[in-house]
Structure 1
Amino acid sequence: MDKKDIKFLEELLYNTDKDDLVRVMRNIENPVILHVFAANYNWNSGFEVPKAILENENCNYGTGLLMFHYADGYRMLESPDDVSASALEEWKDFLIETYQKLIFAV
């Protein structure tokens, strides 16, 4: 990554306009930028942006696995019934979508 990419990432990480971030994440062509952004994303900000990253065709397996881990995906592997029973619909949907992408990417 060069200085331009780092500056771009800094701008993204400090951007608080969720709709703008979703639009940008869907159009990023550099998988490294997607990965670094996902690694530094504030998960308290919701799942719209991570979903946009996951839907980007340039999101690679490593980035998907990272997001699955950061979203506490291990819970889905340890006790799928607890996740299914969770009232956190957005979280549950994100885990299922990420899991499906990871499993069927191989």
Structure 2
Amino acid sequence: MDNSRKEYVYKLLYSENKQKSIDEINCITDSELLHIIAGNYNWDNGFEIPYSIINNKYCDLGTALMIFYDADGYRILDNREELKNPNLKEWGNFISETEKKILNNKFVVNNIKFIPPLTKVQIFKLKKNNPDITKVFIEESDGDVIEIPNV
């Protein structure tokens, strides 16, 4: 990734005007660029930017899965009761919507590989507790590995 693209990602993620960044992300047609933005996102800054990425029609399935796991989606795969925590309502809404979009094949682009950050023991427990768990959450996705540079 060249320096001008790194600078572009940096400006999007650290802009004082979050709405301007969201509007800009909504217009991005490069799924790899969306992936790199998501991979550099600081989750302390809320859910608006990740929402704009997963709602972009060019968002890749691999990017959506990365966002799901980066947002601690493993917690609901392990224990759905986590969604009922009243202190985590915004997180619960975000993670539920992301999960639903993944399960309903709303990500038509599938060129970026995602490897779930799970150990064999975690996969075993997930399958044991939920034999019907969808494979998309526990197996590698198709596509190419995209290096995510730090910006």
Distance in 2, Cα, partners of 1:40 & 1:3: 15
Q: CA RMSD in A?
A: 1.5
**Alignment partner of 1:15 is 2:15:** yes
Identity %: 36
SS at match of 1:41: coil
1:7-48 per-position Cα deviation (integer Å, ceiling 9, x unaligned): 311222321321111111111111111100101101000001
Whichever residue aligns with residue 91 of structure 1, its letter is W
Distance in 1, Cα, partners of 2:88 & 2:17: 23
- The answer for unaligned runs of 5 or more in structure 2 is 107-151
- The residue number in structure 1 matching 2:59 is 59
**Alignment partner of 1:42 is 2:42:** yes
- The residue number in structure 2 matching 1:82 is 82
Distance in 1, Cα, partners of 2:2 & 2:105: 29
Identify, as 1 or 2, the structure richer in helix.
1
Distance in 1, Cα, partners of 2:51 & 2:12: 16
Whichever residue aligns with residue 88 of structure 1, its letter is L
Higher RCO (CA < 8 A, seq sep 6+): 2
Distance in 2, Cα, partners of 1:66 & 1:27: 21
**Alignment partner of 1:26 is 2:26:** yes
TM-score norm. by structure 1 comes to 0.90
Higher deviation after alignment, 68-77 or 1-10: 1-10
Count of matched residue positions in the alignment of Structure 1 and Structure 2: 106
- The residue number in structure 2 matching 1:100 is 100
1:31-71 per-position Cα deviation (integer Å, ceiling 9, x unaligned): 11110010110100000111011100000101100000010
TM-superposed CA distance for 1:102, in Å, is 0.9
Q: 1:50 to 1:98 in 2, by over 3 A?
A: same
- The answer for unaligned runs of 5 or more in structure 1 is none
Distance in 2, Cα, partners of 1:104 & 1:56: 15
TM-score norm. by structure 2 comes to 0.65
